[in-house]
Amino acid sequence: MTEIDWAALQKEAKNASLIPDGEYQAVCVESTATKSSNGKPMLKIKCQITEGPQAPKKVTSQLTVSAESAIALRIFFTQLEAFGVTADFFSANPQLEAVAAAMVNRPITIDVETRAWQGVDRNGLKGIRPPRAGAPTAPGVAVGPPVPVSPGAAPVIPAAAPPVPPTPASAPPVPAF
């Protein structure tokens, strides 16, 4: 039988704090292909903040394929483009699992907002955009476009970026010339 340290979990819950609303540099640390409650194809993602005092907190979201709405599809594909998953990737007609795999370890910019859900404030993603130009890439973060796969083929995970020495979050930005 698994033993649970309830006191430690309660202490952790009491110390939990929301991420302040705003823009953050992040990386997708998890993406899972699934279905929404009404049966639509959906990606459940978890993004980890990579810079500043909120690092390494995580925010989750869902990206749903709503084929009945051109606007919803535009939003879906725009969000995926932020991860570097572009029309070229979709030209191979990949399975949803391959799309999910192509998002992992990809840097992005996220807009975090606080929303009430069932009477409790929670963090959510208001927006997903490409990473800030010049934002540092952490070791293991994928760079470049994902490699499309044929339907039914195993997903090809993009190569990770070479390790980059850590930079203190408090370091002043380097001026552009």
Going by pLDDT thresholds of 50, 70 and 90, the confidence category of residue 14 is confident
Class of domain 19-129: mainly beta
Tokens 């483009």 belong to which residue?
81
Residue 163, φ and ψ in degrees, nearest 5:
-60, 140
pTM: 0.74
- The pLDDT-based confidence of 176 (bands split at 50, 70, 90) is low
- Of the listed ranges 39-48, 68-77, 131-140, the least confidently predicted one is 131-140
**How much of the chain exceeds pLDDT 70, in percent?**
76
Q: Is the peptide bond before 56 cis (omega within 30 degrees of 0)?
A: yes
CB 29 within 8 A of CB 46: yes
Question: What does the pLDDT look like over 63-95, one tens digit per residue?
Answer: 999 999 999 999 999 999 999 999 999 999 999
User: Looking at residues 103-130, what average pLDDT do you find?
Assistant: 94
DSSP for residue 15: T
pLDDT value for 136: 59
Q: What is the mean pLDDT of the chain?
A: 85
